[in-house]
Amino acid sequence: MMIFKMFRPGEWAELLTKGWTGGAPVDLHDGFVHFSTAAQVPETLTRHFVNDDALVLLACDAARFGDDLRWEPSRGGDLFPHLYRALTLDDVAWTRDIGFGPQRHNTGPLE
């Protein structure tokens, strides 16, 4: 199963430069890297990235994280994937820019 992380350009640049990251400021504050399932991505974008028009979508295979990935309740009791270790560039299966237009964020197909 693929899970997804949205990064602003500076956060993505840090991962590219260092090869690992503790995540965005909210991740560092909470002590884990927040991910979303494909079904959760649209609401995550609306809630947390509504004014961001430059984002990178990262896709990661959840199975790769083993016990470091925990499914924990969040919005409305929905289970969200949380990574309790640094995210590495090797963890990323693929990336793409998230488009921004009249319909707001356009992630393209999430596979």
Structure confidence at residue 98 (pLDDT): 87
- pLDDT of the residue at 101: 57
Q: Rounded distance, CA 17 to CA 72, Å?
A: 30
CA-nearest of 70, 89, 78, 73 to 32 is: 70
**Chain centroid offset of residue 23 CA:** 9
Domains for the chain: give ranges and CATH numbers: 2-100 (3.20.170.20)
Residue of 102 and 22 predicted with greater confidence:
22
What pLDDT does 52 receive?
83
Q: What pTM was estimated for this model as a whole? A: 0.89
104 pLDDT more than 70: no
Residue 80 neighbours by CB distance under 10 Å:
18
Joined together, the tokens standing for residue 73 give 């309740």
> Cα-atom radius of gyration of the chain, to the nearest Å?
13
What tens digit of pLDDT does each residue of 46-102 get? 888 888 888 999 999 999 999 999 999 987 889 999 999 999 999 999 999 887 655
